Structure 1
């Protein structure tokens, strides 16, 4: 009863544990896979954004080259700037000596004509760019025309007639945000990613400021680090639905739970069926009176024992009750049964647990002693025949004797049925030599074996 209850419970608990571990590992794998894909997307679109910004910066390099070729002069600036303009560019500017004098398009940008080196908001970083001859980016800033922009200032140094370098000023481009890299950010949004693009505030301030984002909060995002000029940028992305796949996990868990419950029910059913099978096998293989193996059960088990160790010696023994018919006639069949039960109990106490015990039918019993020879068990069998065997009748104890014969495998027989015939012949010879097998079974055995093997 405990086994029928405990094992299904264990199946259920183990199933729940395995299901939990599997669900957890699946979740970990899903997150790992999503992070891997997100990382690839971050790298891909991060590089595209990097290229887009670099392309904007190259406009200042183009103007720089024109200035160098023109020895500091640009003829028809508006026409050149017009050719450089694109959807993502707000304006193109020139700032000789740091003062913005040329802006294209000029309309709407008139207030941009300022002295960059002396301006309170732009002076420090502009002077740094001038002194260190590096391109700097400021922003994002709010544009008067709407939206945000990034200001790129490229310092220009020319050579005078003596070959000495001098500061000419800046070439400037204002890039629209997010238009300058919207192909990449639109693609990320289309693929259902939240993103945040940030940059160092300036070469003088390492604190990151957000350039563009489509969400307020990022949870364990993957990051791709960009380098634009001398500045460090950072693109962070994460799936809009999160790193886990709740729908898949729910399906796995509840589907697995149904399977665990089904297995628990099947285990319970199997125990019930196994219990019934054992009962039926017990009825089929065991003798109802003595609870020893019946003839069918004994033959099956003996065949298995011999087949399992075909080179090992074993001894088969057949025995019966002397004058058993007389016991039945004098005391009745019920007391004859008591004698048989007493004999079976005597056998179980005397022989080791490795011995195979059975009842062929009537008063005949059989024994198979494994891993031994006749010489090794002879004295033991003699002792067994001498052991008192009794039954009770109306308060009185009556004794009875047995006769037995035995044969050895593989010396006397090469397979089970032949072995049992040899033992049966030995028992028959014992009966011929005297009623008390205790006195004559050895002589009868030798004679019986000779007849069985065809020597007499």
Structure 2
């Protein structure tokens, strides 16, 4: 009897345990597969969101260009049709101007005559147009059904003119009608070819957080990957979902039949994906880091500063540029290894002296940049003066040597409208220090460039 039980029960237990282990493995792999597909979908959503954003901004840029023409002409725009013709492409339905909010000129004029309307008082366009006028912000309305067929998004960019007393007055709008989906056709076609269903949506208006459908698969996507992005204060959303879903049931069936072999293959694939992801992060970090000093290189510094100023356009900030006095003499007398040591010691002193929210960068050679957010010149001037006056040291063959630095700085938005102009102001301040020939000094750029 015991032998009979052992003959059947033990194999049954082994079979049950084996099946439980196999089912558990299939479950784990299934979850891993779903996560992997989501990761790939997130990467694709991120990639194509950037492309869609770029395509939209390229179309919206037409209104910015036209706006500059209006401002430079002090409200007068000559040869509108020639200018608009040069700006047209296949993704644009029409280009318009609306002095005082009334559409007066449209290119192409043919089939668009009925679009010459009073935007401010129009029943469908008035509220959002008045919002753009009163808040000096670009607005996007649509998608709207076009009389010529298809759909479009109306982009209206308010224009303000400034008189000799510095007072601004509303001039009107520069307008572009973007075709949907032509404006982002390359991106959505690529998503479809990669086997994704997708849905592109945006806020209905700046004050309404309800999403409206712009383009994509009209059916509801079940548990898609979602990626949000902003275009001139409008929140957009891209949802994507593999056409076959995140689970591949046939693959799981093959896994059940193949057993351990397929588990090993999947483990190898997962290890490869992790390795690729780690390498990608390392390459990204190296691309923005100065190898000698460990702080940002010029590209990384510019990228960080540009991001901060784009997100905080109203906040004051200060950029300082500095270099080592007579650095060529250090290299010539003590050697390039000692010069590298001086650069490293300077970078270390900067990291120790400045707080973590300060962005540090090496422009190249012995020139460094410092970005101090949310502050004014008056607040940081004593701080910078103290740093400039501190003795800096480096070592050569065991002997200690000292060096001095010169520093120039400038404040945004007092002297500059953007990052590049702010950097030029700080650079000119540094240049003035150098021209005076006073080592270990600093200067503040006063006036405009």
Q: Residues 222 and 145 of structure 1: is their aligned pair in 2 closer, same or farther, counting only changes over 3 Å?
A: same
CA distance in 2, matches of 1:67, 1:215: 40
CA distance in 1, matches of 2:10, 2:180: 66
CA distance in 1, matches of 2:189, 2:117: 35
Q: Which residue of 1 aligns with 2:213?
A: 210
After superposition, the C-alpha distances for 1:58-115 in whole angstroms (9 at most, x for unaligned) are: 1100000000111111111000000000010000000000000000001111110000
Q: Over the residues paired in the alignment, what is the CA RMSD in angstroms?
A: 1.6
CA distance in 1, matches of 2:233, 2:171: 21
Displacement after TM superposition at 1:258 (Å): 13
**Quick one: which of 229, 232, 238 aligns to 2:232?**
229
Trace 1:290-439 onto structure 2 (pairs within 5 A).
Answer: none
Q: Which residue of 2 aligns with 1:265?
A: none
1:114 is aligned to 2:117: yes
Q: Which residue of 2 aligns with 1:154?
A: 157
**Higher-Rg member (1/2):** 1
Q: How many residues align?
A: 259
CA distance in 2, matches of 1:16, 1:157: 73
Q: Which residue of 2 aligns with 1:430?
A: none
Displacement after TM superposition at 1:23 (Å): 1.0
1:98 is aligned to 2:78: no
Q: Which residue of 2 aligns with 1:13?
A: 16
Asked if the contact 1:125/1:204 (under 8 Å) is kept, the reply is: no
**Quick one: which of 9, 26, 30 aligns to 1:27?**
30
Displacement after TM superposition at 1:257 (Å): 11
Q: Residues 258 and 58 of structure 1: is their aligned pair in 2 closer, same or farther, counting only changes over 3 Å?
A: closer
Trace 1:263-278 onto structure 2 (pairs within 5 A).
Answer: none
CA distance in 2, matches of 1:163, 1:43: 42
CA distance in 2, matches of 1:258, 1:243: 22
Q: Which residue of 2 aligns with 1:68?
A: 71
**Quick one: which of 67, 82, 85 aligns to 1:82?**
85
Unmatched runs of 5 consecutive residues or more in structure 1:
260-456
SS at the partner of 2:161?
strand
SS at the partner of 2:110?
coil
Q: Residues 99 and 20 of structure 1: is their aligned pair in 2 closer, same or farther, counting only changes over 3 Å?
A: same
SS at the partner of 2:98?
strand
Displacement after TM superposition at 1:200 (Å): 0.3
After superposition, the C-alpha distances for 1:150-186 in whole angstroms (9 at most, x for unaligned) are: 0000000002344321100000000001110111100
Displacement after TM superposition at 1:27 (Å): 0.8
TM-score, reference length from structure 2: 0.56
- Which region of structure 1 is more displaced relative to structure 2, 207-216 or 179-188? 207-216
**Quick one: which of 164, 167, 172 aligns to 1:169?**
172
CA distance in 1, matches of 2:177, 2:135: 21
Q: Which residue of 1 aligns with 2:185?
A: 182
CA distance in 2, matches of 1:18, 1:148: 55
Q: Which residue of 1 aligns with 2:241?
A: 238
Q: Which residue of 1 aligns with 2:195?
A: 192
CA distance in 1, matches of 2:81, 2:217: 36
Displacement after TM superposition at 1:215 (Å): 4.3
Displacement after TM superposition at 1:255 (Å): 3.6
Asked if the contact 1:93/1:103 (under 8 Å) is kept, the reply is: yes
Question: Structure 1 residue runs of 4+, over 4 Å off?
Answer: none
Q: Which residue of 1 aligns with 2:255?
A: 252
**Quick one: which of 35, 39, 44 aligns to 2:42?**
39
Trace 1:42-53 onto structure 2 (pairs within 5 A).
Answer: 42-53=45-56
Unmatched runs of 5 consecutive residues or more in structure 2:
263-449
SS at the partner of 2:247?
coil
